[in-house]
Structures are given as structure tokens and as C-alpha cells.
Amino acid sequence: MLFRSAPTGLGPSLTAIGQYFNRIQAPPVSPALGSTVVKLVYDPTLDAYKASLTQFSPQLYGEEQAEMALSTQRFQQLMTDGGSIIGLGGDHGMLWLNYSNEDSIHGAYDGYQKIWLRANRGALGFQKAFENAWTLGFAAEYEDDSVIGYQNLWKGSGHTEHFGSVLKRQLGSTVLSGTVTFGTSDISSQRTGDFTVPFTTNIKRNIYTLAGSVRAFHSFDYGSLYATPMIDFGVTGLFNGYAAEATGEPTGLILYANNEGHVFTRPAAKFGNVFSFGSGVKLNIYEDLGYTRYLNGRNTFVNAAFTGAVSAAGSMNVPVWLGSLFETTSGLELTVHSNISIGAEYSKTVDTHYSMNRLAFHLNIPF
């Protein structure tokens, strides 16, 4: 008799895993997973059954995919904002540097486990303005990543690199800009559990992004005060590489390669006040408010299967929420002789189940 592995009350992630177990039991059966199915049958409560299914979950890998998509979007924003020489006029160049530390939490809900993510990011960029009101720039970023979840039973660490270019066109107080970026992430992950026997898995996986974005913004000045409404529109191609967990257990995961396209929009506004002092010294205090919304589905999916399952069982397609994100940034920037500026800012990003804190520092050197 077929054991129904996806009862109501599991949530979308565990439901996808339970439905996969339904297919595993259907002919032709997967003999290597027989003891696993038997143990699931004898779980005494729904909570115990959820805990069992969680041990097979590829959620960790979906969280890494989601973070790669968000990291790409932040790099696009940094290239557009960082080291801007709009307003200096003439034929200028700008070298800019940025360092940020980010701590994120994706909270536990509806069958998902709590995940902590940390990133240290260092970026270097260059922009060149031309007399015809065009600005061209290039940038690169290195990111050190780590992730911990499910009561420290899931862990990952690695690094990400982003490369991109930005093109801007100034039309009076209005600026149009566009970015093109490429990103690559190499991350090694580990899952630990104890189901029929204790197990520890290890895996190394590559994730890539190819993305583009456009922005339009207009500046309104009221003496030393200013307001800059803007809107971003972007597309991120997420390319998740094939990988297989190194484990002798039949429930070790195979992660199939899959490609996704994510379209987003981000309306935002920046408000600030520039205080002028002697010898050309200025202090800019500002607040930035933005809201990111994904337009074509707000999940990234992990396409996975067990090493001990027959191919006829197919795979499980487990979703992880990308979210709709509200962000607020408070910052200050000190400009000294020759328009060299140094600044610091704090950002808070929130969603129903997501929270991120970011502290960033930047240095802009015009020439």
C-alpha cells in the first residue's frame, strides 16, 4: 500500500519533498530507499514527520541561489550610485572604493528553517565623464560568503565575484543609466543529520548570473536640500550548476543544473541636506528609501533528486522565497579639497520573513 508522503500542513518546501517520496514508492520502486520510507511511515506525529523531511531538504542550496540573485542586484545599485560624477561637469574621471559588511536572517516559517547569511564585500570602480554628458564606468567586486542554518546542521562558505559596466546619460536634472553585470559564486556546503544512520554530506557548487538593469532619476534642489526620486528595472539570469553531495547514503542529493530569469522593479527616493563649510568642505546627510518587487514569480527553485532513487521518480523542485524587500539607508558623506569624499552608511532591509543589516564605507577620488 502506498504511503501518502505529502499530507496537508507541510508548507510548500516540505510538500515538494513529500510528493517526491510519493513518486519514489510508485513502480518501479527504489529499493535503496526502502528503510527510509519505513521510518517515515512510523513517525508518530506531523511535527516528527516534518522534522524527518527537513533532513532531506535542499533548502540550504536554494538560500544560496536567492542570496546570489540579491547580491547581483546590490552590485548593480552600487555601480549606479558609487563614485557618481554627475554634477561635477566637464571632462572628469572618478575612482571609487566601497567596503560593506552584511548580516542577513531568513526566518523559520511554514516548513522552512532559519538561515543566517553573512557577506563581506569589497568593490573597486572607475567612471569617466565626457563633454557630451555621457558617463561610462566599470567595476569589480569580491565577496566573502558564509551561511549557517537548521540549528548549525547546515553550513556553507565560499566567495563571489561580480564584474560590470555602467553607462549614464545626463539630460538636465534627469539622468538615465544602465548596467550589465556578470557574477560567479563558488561555495562549499555541508549538511549533517541522523535519520536511519548519522550522515554528513559535502558539496561544492557554482552559481552564475548575467544581469542588466536600467534606472531613471530626477533631482530637485531646494537650496541645500534635495530630493531624488528614481526607479530601477532589472532582469537577472540565474544559472545554477550541477553538483552531487559526497556521501554513501542513498538520500544524498543530486542538484541538477537549472536556469531562471528574475525580473524586478525598485522604486526609490533619496532625500538629503548638504552643509557647506569653509575651504570647499561639505557634509551631505541623506536618507534613501526603496522597495524591490519581483514581477515574474518570487521564488528560486532547487531541482534535486536522491542518489538512491530510480530515474522514473523524477526530481523535487523545492522553492525558496526571494521576497519583496523594503530598504532604508541612512548615510553621511564628507567632501573635502578637490571633491575627494569619504562616507559611511547603514542599511536595513526587511520582508515578512527576511531581515538584513548592512554597514558600508566608501571613498571617491576624482581626477
User: How high is the pLDDT of residue 8?
Assistant: 73
User: How high is the pLDDT of residue 91?
Assistant: 62
Sign, CA dihedral 100-101-105-106, equals: positive
Give the β-pairing of 134-149 and 225-240: unpaired
User: How high is the pLDDT of residue 4?
Assistant: 58
Nearest-10 crossing angle of helices 34-41, 11-25: 120
User: How high is the pLDDT of residue 84?
Assistant: 63
User: How high is the pLDDT of residue 359?
Assistant: 97
* pTM, entire model: 0.93
81 and 161 Cβ atoms separated by less than 8 Å: no
User: How high is the pLDDT of residue 343?
Assistant: 93
User: How high is the pLDDT of residue 3?
Assistant: 53
215 and 195 Cβ atoms separated by less than 8 Å: no
Question: Rounded CA gap, 36 and 195, in Å?
Answer: 8
Q: What is the dihedral of CA 33, 35, 37, 43, to 10 degrees?
A: -150
* Mean pLDDT, each 10-residue run in order, the chain (367 residues): 63 91 85 88 88 94 96 95 60 89 94 96 93 90 97 96 95 93 97 90 97 96 94 97 88 95 97 89 94 91 94 93 93 88 95 94 91
User: How high is the pLDDT of residue 197?
Assistant: 85
User: How high is the pLDDT of residue 2?
Assistant: 44
